[in-house]
Each structure stands twice: as structure tokens, then as C-alpha cells.
Amino acid sequence: MPSGGHSLRIGVNALYLIPGGVGGTEIFLRSLLAALAEIDDRNRYFVFTNLETGARLAPDRPNFRHLR
């Protein structure tokens, strides 16, 4: 965490993700985002997706935002 009470803006590139089509990397990314949502409510996450993936990839938390 940054010192001084500041939060980070973190971009997550999920443009490559085709649901059900990329195997282990999809499982890893979904697990990573879920884990981050559980432990971090301070930083802001911007999850960039393609049309096929949609908004359901980003956790339903105030600090996560889906960008198509």
C-alpha cells in the first residue's frame, strides 16, 4: 500500500479473455480478482474487457469498475 493514505488506480487487462476459451489464464484471473476484492477495499481497480466477457468479470465491489 502506498504510504500517506493514498490509493492506487490499477488497470487490469482482460481484453484477451474469451469466456470458456482460454483455460487456465481465465481461471487465474477470475481467482485473482476475487481474492483482491476480499483483501483490498482501498485501491481502485479498472477491469478492461472485450464484448464477450462483459461486466460479470469484475467483482461487485465499490472499488472495482468494469470498462468495455
CA angle 3, 6, 8 (to 5 degrees): 105
CA distance 53 to 28: 15
CA distance 47 to 15: 9
Q: pLDDT grade, residue 4 (50/70/90)?
A: low
Strands (E), 1-68: 9-14, 44-49, 64-67
Count how many residues are written for the chain. Answer: 68
pTM of the complete model: 0.85
Q: What percent of the chain has pLDDT over 70?
A: 94
